[in-house]
Structures are given as structure tokens and as C-alpha cells.
Amino acid sequence: MSLIERPRRLRTTQAMRNLVAETTVVPSQLIYPTFIKEGLTEPKPIKGLPGVFQNTEASLLAKVDRAIAAGIGGIMIFGIPAERDELGSAACEPNGILNRAVAAVRKHAGDKLVVVADLCLDEFTSHGHCGVLDDHGNVDNDATLVAYGRMAVELAKAGAHMLGASGMMDGQVGYVRQQLDEAGYTDVSILAYSAKYASAFYGPFRDAVESELDGDRRTYQQDPRNFIESMREVRLDVEQGADIVMVKPALAYLDVIRETAQSVDVPVAAYLVSGEMAMIELAAEQGLIDRERAILEAVASVRRAGANVICTYWALELAEMFYARKTL
């Protein structure tokens, strides 16, 4: 047959496929989410997240060493306190578990990777919500902003390079930016969870932080059916000073990642969340899919959609795989 165009020529070998690959993922684009629990004496496995642990300070610093050696871009830290109250007071304590962990990691790592601290109250409140409740049991947006502001300054003092503003409160980016600047932390950047959906895929994360949530977060996290609303949230966060905007979860919202990447002039992040990881891990455990190929395919899809930064519990494994293969 006389065929002028034969696209298969560019698929003949792995080297050829690598040569013309349109999407690449490198370790410096990855953020590794980690957990540290107050009072632990040894790392504790997390249900539903194979290979992910609640850490002690020593085991967390060991993960930091691996992350640096693997060339990962950043490490995100979530703290789990020994005691919680209705206001999430431990989040703002200078010697609280999250601030101590951030200080230890920053001292240990210096500027060899980006130290990202989670800026939210849900790990610290006895009711499990991401903010302060009013007299009717609803999250009080503006009172929560005040708490976020205090928490942000303490995390900046501890040494965080970046704060993950994940609470989905109206005006949180602008308020936190103002508080940081007034306290002299103009170089601390904000990773805004701009399009964070009220998703069913967060299930294993609740076990990771031992969430005591009563009810749901649908009054502040976004409705999974909505798209235009996401673009509004992204626009507002950029206007308020977000340095990076995030879409979370990732796999069920690739269309949102794509549109966000085409709409803003700041980097776009996406979070492959715990439930998305668990689905692949459990399917692979049952022999239904090839685990490694499925992980690579999932991560590539997020990058292909337009994410510059990817938060994933597979970050260490992916980075070490990259150096073994020289490609992902």
C-alpha cells in the first residue's frame, strides 16, 4: 500500500518513543505529602495507603533525606496532635506538632527542597471541620480566617517555604497574604487549593490524620458537578496573591486542570489524592492491573492535562524510578 503517513514509525522502539514523548514527568515537579503524629515511638502504617505511614520526627527526617537524594521538588507536612479542641488551638501553638516538624525539616534540609506546610485546621479540631464553628455548628468563614492568619505566621516562623492553603474559606489567600506580609514574611509563598472538591476520594486521608469529622464539608468545598465555579475560585485566588493554584482531586478533574492551566499565568498544581492512590493499589493487589504501568499512566495524565506540580504519595517511588530509568 502507498501510505505517506505512517505514525507507527515513531513508536518502533522505547528509545524512539522517549525521543518524541510529548509529556514528561521529572522528580523536581513532585511534592511528597507526609504525616507526623505527636507521641509516636515508631512509624505507623496507614489503612488504605500501602507504603504510607504516620511518622515520628526521626522517620520523617529519614524520608526527607530520601526526597533530597531523589531530587523531589518539595515535601508537604501534615501534623496530627495528641489533643484537639473545638478551635484547633494546637495549630497555632509555636511548639505544636506541625510547627515543630516544619522547623526540624527546614533545619535538616535547608533549601534543598521546598518545605510545604498544610495550612488548615481540620487535623486540629475536635469536630474535624476545616474552621471555627459558630453557635449553630456552621463553619464561621471570617473567624476561621483569623485563625489561619495566626497559623500562617507561626508556620512561617518555623521555616516553611510555602503554605498549602487548603481550607476553601472565602478570602483565605488574601487574608493570609496580608498577615504574612505584615509580619515580614514576604518571601513565604502560598499554594492555594483553589478548586478543591467535596470528594469521596479523600477517604484514606481521613484515616491518615485520624479525622473526627462529624458531617461533611459541602458548605465550603466545591460541588463535584461544577466547573464554572472552579474558574471563579481560581480567578479570585490569583487576584488575592496565590503563587500556585491547585486542583484537588486530580484524576476525576482533568478537565478542570486543563482549563486552569490555560487560564492563569501562575503554576498549576494537582493532588493525586489518597482514594485515587488506593484504587490503583487495591486493583493491582488483586492482579487486575499492572501496578507500575497504572501509576505511570495516572501521573502522566495529570501532567498532560497541564499540571506543573503534582502532589502524590508515590513521589519517592516515582523519583527513584526516574533515576533508574532516566525517564518516566
186's CB contacts (< 8 A; 6+ apart) are: 180
Report d(CA 193, CA 196) in Å as an integer: 6
- Is 157 catalytic? The answer is no
37 is catalytic: no
Which element (helix H / strand E) includes 79? strand 74-80
Cell numbers standing for residue 76:
508537604
Cell matching residue 314? 508515590
Across 71-104, b (16+ Cβ under 10 Å) vs e yields bbbbbbbbbbbeebeebbbbbbeeebbbbbbbbb
**Phi/psi of residue 31, nearest 5 degrees:** -115, 135
Task: Given the residues 44, 47, 157, 248, select the one marked as catalytic.
Answer: 248
Collapsing DSSP to helix, strand or coil, 243 comes out as coil
Dihedral angle of Cα 280, 283, 287, 293, to the nearest 10 degrees = -20
Of 37, 44, 157, 196, which residue is the catalytic one? Answer: 196
Which long-range CB contacts under 8 A does 322-326 form with residues at least 24 apart?
A: 322/25, 322/26, 322/27, 322/70, 322/71, 323/27, 323/70, 323/71
> With the C-alpha atoms ordered 107, 108, 111, 116, is the resulting torsion angle positive or negative?
negative
Which residues are marked as active site? 196, 248
